[in-house]
Structure 1
């Protein structure tokens, strides 16, 4: 048990509570005006220790900048380089400047809400959600360490991500885009296999099993800052994707003229960089194709993944096959992302119900007769 003792101050008698933390170290809390208040606090501390709910408020005086730097660093080895780069940038640009000098215990829920609302005026929903997630994660860690009783960033009203309309190309539009592009084989490969940009540009000759018409997705090339980093695919899972026969000839030529460890696209020695620039070769190819077909939508390399899903579903592929091709965790994920592509299925259901009803009424009429 702890103890309560009086001491003199210029304002009069005050009481000090001495007690031990669960780890055995001793601490105290001063400033109680009455012995009753001090004893009540001590009872609360002892009860929380007995129930395993003790919170060491003195440890919450650490600046968030110190706790945050430790929290961010701990994730460097757990996240993919591209994901960690985004997280570290958000911490450095949005979170640390605002909260770095504040003690964990001094952060208030209303202040977090004001910060989120202010950011939402100038930042995208993605940036706001990422920054809030970092702050909330740091405070969550303090709650789990029993240095904070609650997370002030919880239950904050957050902006919602808008649903971006997907762009789908037809077979003819894919061919038109490929014919105007610097890397026509890559455009076709993206549009007919559904692999991500990084998965395609990280594809090596040894990953091509052309006799079986398969490509093994085992590596991913992503831009981290100005560098291209080779790592594992999203979710760290390998998969095999089908290659349409019309792509085999050009891929066989590449396989014959390159080493097993060379990249299948680009110059072979280096993975292609994502052409983000409006003046990059992909954007330029889209503009040229739009000049020949005004109905061709403005697309990004990732939209070719959506196109692959659209073309596969239009060709009659079932949702499970599309899920495996795209590498989604489940068919439910595929259905959620591409629910708009299954609108025709609803028409089929409606027509089937209509036929069934008509047939049933005819049969009932015949029986009555």
Structure 2
């Protein structure tokens, strides 16, 4: 049974509330200056217990670092690159700021100040998003386990995502780039089949359907932390098939003489065509720049590898492909996503519609 008892301190009389927690264990809270305050607290405890919303005041003493292993185990099934980014976000951003703090001590204003600090120091939106996602996930666990009544992450707002300028190459541009590179077949595959780098790197000889001129995409190669690579599923976990232009099929024929289990594209030393080892240095100007950087400079182009995927979309639309065809080629979840990403490619359709409407009106009147 709950009780309220007075006790004397140097500062005067205070009141202590004794009550039982939902698990039957007895606890107390002291320091109330009036019996009325003590009674109000006890009433709120009883209401919370009856509604199943009681939070043990001592539970909030759990430190953020103690919840990280639980969060990490919960996201274990994600792709290796995603897991790596979360581990980096924890180690470099979340742990230094909040790792030693008790979960109940962290206020929304502190989290907002932390995010503002990352923005101020020039951190990318992706970096900030990764860090806040980890901290949000940890507090989701804290709320679910009734360590705290609510998460302090509700007021957090990320900086707006800036749309990067897309570069669309012409057929002539792609030809110059391919001819200037060590791996022209790889360049043409990205630019005419719309594959992501990891999708192309994951292709095996057996994935080429010669009769139907199709690439069957099943695997994806991703680099983890610049130290190792892993083969996994495609981005949306759904295999897809992509048509191969006849000219590219001709270029593939010598490669198809190898065993079906061999990779289609490998480096000069026979290694997997990893993005960073081949192209990461396109962001730098050092002497060890990758083959893609050297090729684009020789071709006089200012592009990134992903711009070849944009180019595939552009060349397909200009050749008459509709949005559903482009969606299937790129592996987007929906045609809406394709339109949102490449809406400008269909601008000419507005003129076509207007002309068609004008013709239909003239014929009808």
Instruction: Confirm or deny: 8 A CA contact 2:17 2:38 kept in the other structure.
Output: yes
Report the alpha carbon displacement of residue 213 of structure 1 after superposing the two structures with TM: 1.0
Partner of 1:152: 152
Report the alpha carbon displacement of residue 358 of structure 1 after superposing the two structures with TM: 4.8
- The within-5 A match list for 1:273-352 is 273-274=274-275, 275-278=279-282, 279-290=289-300, 296=301, 298-352=302-356
Partner of 1:366: none
Report the alpha carbon displacement of residue 15 of structure 1 after superposing the two structures with TM: 2.8
More divergent stretch after superposition (202-211 vs 329-338): 202-211
Partner of 1:293: none
CA deviation digits over 1:165-198, x for unaligned, max 9? 1111111111110000011000001111111100
Distance 1:148 1:211, change over 3 A: same
CA deviation digits over 1:4-40, x for unaligned, max 9? 3344444444333333333444433222223322222
Residues in 1 aligned to 2:77 and 2:26: alpha-carbon distance in whole angstroms:
36
Residues in 2 aligned to 1:27 and 1:203: alpha-carbon distance in whole angstroms:
63
Residues in 2 aligned to 1:319 and 1:21: alpha-carbon distance in whole angstroms:
60
Report the alpha carbon displacement of residue 46 of structure 1 after superposing the two structures with TM: 1.6
Partner of 1:367: none
TM-score in terms of structure 1 length = 0.90
Residues in 2 aligned to 1:23 and 1:342: alpha-carbon distance in whole angstroms:
63
TM-score in terms of structure 2 length = 0.91
- The within-5 A match list for 1:352-363 is 352-359=356-363, 363=365
- The within-5 A match list for 1:151-190 is 151-190=151-190
Partner of 2:286: none
Instruction: Confirm or deny: 8 A CA contact 1:126 1:161 kept in the other structure.
Output: no
SS of corresponding position for 1:182: coil
Residues in 2 aligned to 1:191 and 1:20: alpha-carbon distance in whole angstroms:
68
- The within-5 A match list for 1:251-266 is 251-256=252-257, 258-266=258-266
Partner of 2:203: 203
CA deviation digits over 1:68-120, x for unaligned, max 9? 34323432x22100011111101111111011121111111222111111110
- The within-5 A match list for 1:12-27 is 12-27=12-27
Partner of 2:128: 128
Residues in 2 aligned to 1:22 and 1:215: alpha-carbon distance in whole angstroms:
60
Residues in 1 aligned to 2:250 and 2:25: alpha-carbon distance in whole angstroms:
73
Distance 1:14 1:273, change over 3 A: same
CA deviation digits over 1:204-237, x for unaligned, max 9? 1121212111111111111101211111111221
Coordinate RMSD, CA, aligned: 1.9
Instruction: Confirm or deny: 8 A CA contact 1:140 1:151 kept in the other structure.
Output: yes
SS of corresponding position for 2:17: strand
Distance 1:88 1:359, change over 3 A: same
Residues in 2 aligned to 1:349 and 1:83: alpha-carbon distance in whole angstroms:
43
Residues in 2 aligned to 1:139 and 1:120: alpha-carbon distance in whole angstroms:
22
SS of corresponding position for 1:17: strand
Report the alpha carbon displacement of residue 356 of structure 1 after superposing the two structures with TM: 4.3
Report the alpha carbon displacement of residue 269 of structure 1 after superposing the two structures with TM: 5.3
